[in-house]
Structure 1
């Protein structure tokens, strides 16, 4: 989402920093690292916390560069959907109905909606998921990671992207109390001045990693999802201004990100509690998300330095982190107008394809690059966030989503 943007390490770190865990999340299944990876799934790591998320990103990234994902990869994703329309982070046996103990995941559901909407031919599945998302909208107009949990900026933003991708108008999706997702987003925006001025916090009482939630919320404020193209140039530049509108809050959020990136060209992850090494480490995932957010806001000139930094330094991170990281980088390159097949000397598309089923051969005359559907229907995001009640991920991956997801992205 994260990356609504969903940031695997970012959400885990937010949990370490004190993020509230809902009772539903507390029932999260234990990881089963010894189990073999399911056929059709991208990546070989344990999918307990990020199976649906990483698959959705992988398929979206392939679609964005003009590839047709393998049928069994698409079938694996759609097979994860519960009868209610919701998606869990992962369910091992898709032949059995989802039981009441299986935690349902708004972020995984929103990412899956964006993937199936982009691929086409899955209208019924997307409609069912959108219906479920609407049914678990909170009174404040937003969404939490799990149904019943307090709204957060990342979850609300990636759901906005899903609604737009499915042809809905997010501003018309209102809670029983008459609140829209944009009403909820404004509650996470900090005023200019002071610590983190202009940023979006994860939750008002649980700020988390602010760059992560800010990148997600900038996209959500624009009605964008995981796939975006450059927005119209932001004539306000990089001055934070007092604002009471979601558009103004998006501008201020982008200003926060631009300022945070200006010195080194990348974001940093603070050391985990109790870490022996107090030195901050580069945060690749949230740097990716920030590039996408800045580009969508129309501040693409402020994304050039971090993009160049990623081109020089992200290859090892992507290889280690797996399909979600490759997908994030592809979507960032797409947003910023870079070539994902020659990204600092790395072919990101080949790297992603090598982690799962080979895409189907394109039909004769198929263009190498697809036009971003957000140009015509407002769809797109990041992100985002994969967290179980007692799960702590190593920090350093991002988006979203959004996160991205909040377990280390799985190889």
Structure 2
């Protein structure tokens, strides 16, 4: 039992010895103190923190650990990294943080958890991308919490006419067949995450990380240029909506649901919306096209992980809480009630996902990778600006990505 104190003593012989042992035992019991009270600080995204599955885990954890009070705080996901950094700088690090463990590790704000993985977890039971989300260099810094991937959602009627596109060229042909009566086939916003998914489909990459955690920026790589040229070409030729002052990406699901576009690149959160808000909209899902000849194109991974703030004085309790929130029962509860996909392939079929989508997302997760560039805010900002410049028609892909590469390298030197 947690918190129980035991002691050992050499055997004593005879009645006197027995009395002496009894006296010692009484003294030991009288001197035994309850475990020190602990307030475990937990910071999560606000759309997670107030959900019934998470609150159930908190209640069970406190019941199993009477000396621990969980202080659970919800914040917009975009604010979490800043709060973690401030807590570490103040000398009072947050114990459990919901973020991307690899990015926190790159900033020196996450506790290494190799010991946990050696003793309690098996990396081979998780999707490869989920392990990338918690690894920096050759060290593991967290535990995967949920996962998703960008795939294609296609108008079922157009699929019946022209088939499922498997290459970028076939995606363009699909868009040409679907763009009739003034409607456009796609809606392309200035989203760095979605653009990264297309870059992966073209076989590209924007940063490479060595085993020691050092980075090599590859923003201007040829495959990346071709991917952005492809997207910009769809916009220029009237086959896709592009970014505007009001980001069209905000309306992507609505446009598809109303039948005004025929291709949507997103994750299971949007297929769920389509099935509930637009139940009459018939669609087919497919993995991202491949420009490399592989059967499944690369893609961007979504999801998140849990980490322990570096220097936490409650490391063991933090690890125990992370394990409680990521065990199989909790993972399936989150999947079935909140649509958060489990990070282990063995659990995915039990997650209650629509069979129409299940095969697609399972296949896509084998090639999806997290956008590691977010570990470098200046480089990420430069990439996001380049994406906006290209898709808005202000610069060519080669020019914009070349500038982004220079800015990333300059920030790295500084």
TM-score if structure 1 supplies the norm length? Answer: 0.26
Instruction: For CA contacts below 8 A with separation 6 or more, give which structure has more relative contact order.
Output: 1
User: Would you tell me which structure has more helix in proportion to its own residues?
Assistant: 2
More strand by share: 2
Q: What is the TM-score when the length of structure 2 is the normalising length? A: 0.26
